Structure 1
Amino acid sequence: MLEQLTFAFGITGPVLVLLIVGWGARKSGLISEHFIGEANRLVFNVAMPVMLYLAMTGRPLSETVDLRLSLVGLVGTLLLVGILFVVRHLVPDDERGVFIQGSYRGNLAIVGLALAVATYGNEALSLAAMYIAVVTTAYNIIAVLVLNARGALRNILLNPILLGILAGIMASLLGVKLPTVMVRSGEYLSAMTLPTALLCIGASISFRSMTTHLMSLSLAVVFKLILSPLLLVSLG
């Protein structure tokens, strides 16, 4: 038992530490809200697409695509959203859209990737990339139905993370090889992706705002941290 707990903490501990460091840096004024926004944009638009592109081109495509894994994620997400629509009356009308969105939408591209890499190494990036592409697309389509979001198709087609993954798939299929200097530059960007993103998430945490909608938040946490994992594990 102790060995399993030690192993689990060895994986989740570094992620938790970076979140705490980010929160502490924000509270102490070391980093500002402006910096958080700019850093998030840098990660989302540049560093992470580059990281996922390199992940897709670093191994043969046959080793990076797991259709069963992606299908489990897609079906599990759809089933979870169906359950959420059934129980949405448990929260106030004006919070239902956000409640559903917060309950089914996981932080795959940052926390999920960080935990996958910590558990399985960088080899997990390529497998996770295809999963992210499929499930993130589903997330955005569902958001249209839940939040009546406008411009959703444009956001999906121009999503930098999805574009990075698709570009990596095409490069792998066509046998495109980048010059060494470009690969190494991309590796530098890749190395900053997850630490920067985790610091920004930690810096964005506001415990005070959590008390405003405590009921909706509590239910969303139950769905996200308990029911969603149970559902996906049972499907997988």
Structure 2
Amino acid sequence: MDVLIRLIALLVVLLVGTGLRKSGILNAGRTAKLNALAYYVALPALIFVSTYDQAITELLSPALIGGLLLVLFLTAGVAWLVHRGRSSPGRSSVAIVQSYHSNLGYLGLPLVAATFDARVTAIASVILGVVTLTQLPLTILVLSTFNGADAALADELRGLATNPVLVSLVIGLAVGSSGIAVPPTAAAGLDGLGALALPLALLCVGASLQPEGTSVDFGAVGSVVAIKICCMPVLAWLVFSTLAVDPATLTATVVMFGTPTAVSTYVFAAELGGDREFASLNVFATTVVSIATLFVLITLVG
């Protein structure tokens, strides 16, 4: 029941964000500021407090890295088989990308932190770092290849070096591995900032949900939803059960991969020749439907 209440509250905050956008309170400028606060302050604080007291050897393992990459590329392969014949390259590329590119930062990690213990949250932080390093270049490569767009892949890769999510993860793991003591007052302050990550992120995602267009290809949207929020977490469950990892790792991977399509995929689609209306619909559909599927996943693995 607690999980259901949390997810209902998540949906309410999402809808509040959408309502604030429609009313004009969360206009483009204010949404950008809220995004910056979540992305550069709250989320890095959450990642640091989740990892600063644990050694890297306790969190990062060959099984975790190998399993994450296997799930990601298996899902991308399934998506390619299903979507490669869509009506246009712009639609095919978007469908493929949005079938595997997860909203790990704005929904995954904050939701895990609000629902599970510190061990699961720490592993989820590592998952966020490893998968971000992989899915971002893969998405740019798929979109630019299908659409013949000129993507500055090298610039995006260089940008990862200053990504606040990855920087905070590296610092947290370094502090935890070196045994450096963090003053309790500093830890408490960062913990308070980290607690803001989920509500801020939900408001931002809600303000970004703007389904465009009047004609909906229900078959295409439905297949993206099915692969992203059903097939991907099931693959994660199968892969990590086979790897015989500890329960915390299994829980973190299944829930993180069960998150909806990242809002950033809409931005990449618009910049790299993808079908932007289709991309917007997929973000909206996977986010709304994932409220129900995440309840099932959290109940099963929790």
- The change in CA–CA distance for 1:169 and 1:95 in structure 2 (over 3 A counts) is same
1:41-52 to structure 2, matched below 5 A, reads: 41-52=36-47
Q: After superposition, where does 1:10-159 map in structure 2 within 5 Å?
A: 10-65=5-60, 67-91=62-86, 92-148=88-144, 149-150=151-152, 151-159=155-163
The equivalent residue for 1:198 is 202
The corresponding residue for 2:231 is: 227
Q: CA deviation digits over 1:187-221, x for unaligned, max 9?
A: 23212111101111111111344846655433211
Q: Is the 8 A contact 1:210 1:217 kept in 2?
A: no
TM-score normalised by the chain length of structure 2: 0.69
Letter in 2 for 1:104: Y
Instruction: Report the CA distance shift for 1:7/1:194 in structure 2 as closer, same or farther (over 3 A).
Output: closer
Q: Which moved more, 1:218-227 or 1:127-136?
A: 218-227
CA distance in 2, matches of 1:16, 1:168: 30
Q: Which residue of 2 aligns with 1:9?
A: 4
Q: TM-score, with normalisation over the residues of structure 1? A: 0.86
User: What's 1:183 paired with?
Assistant: 187
What does the per-residue CA deviation read over 1:106-132, in whole Å, with 9 as the maximum and x for residues that have no partner? 111222123323431344221101111
Q: CA deviation at 1:87?
A: 2.7
Contact 1:15 1:114 survives alignment (8 Å): no
Tell which has more relative contact order, 1 or 2 (C-alpha 8 A, sep 6+). 1
Relative to 1, partners in 2 of residues 1:191 and 1:221: Cα closer, same or farther, differing over 3 Å? same
Length, aligned pairs only: 231
Name which of 148, 161, 168 aligns with 1:164.
Answer: 168
* Percent sequence identity over aligned pairs: 27
Secondary structure of the residue aligned to 1:106 is coil
SS of aligned partner of 2:136: helix
* Shift of residue 163, structure 1, vs aligned partner: 1.0
Distance 1:32 1:7, change over 3 A: same
Measured at CA, do residues 153 and 13 of structure 1 come closer, stay the same or move farther in structure 2, by a change above 3 Å?
same
Larger helix proportion of the pair: 1
Q: Gapped runs of 5+ residues in structure 1?
A: 1-5
Q: Deviations for 1:158-194, whole angstroms, at most 9, x for unmatched residues? A: 2210111011111112222333443233223212111
C-alpha contact 1:48 1:193 (8 A) present in aligned 2: yes
Distance 1:210 1:59 in 2: 50
Please state how far the C-alpha of 1:63 moved relative to its aligned partner: 4.4
1:144 partner amino acid: I
Change in 2 beyond 3 A, CA 1:84/1:210: farther
Matched residue type, 2:174? M
1:197-216 equivalences under 5 Å are 197-209=201-213, 211=215, 215-216=219-220
Alignment RMSD (CA, Å): 2.3
Amino acid at match of 1:30: I
The match for 2:256 is none
In 2: Cα distance, 1:115 partner to 1:106 partner: 13
Gap regions ≥5 residues in structure 2: 145-150, 241-302
Question: Does 152-161 or 53-62 show the bigger shift?
Answer: 53-62
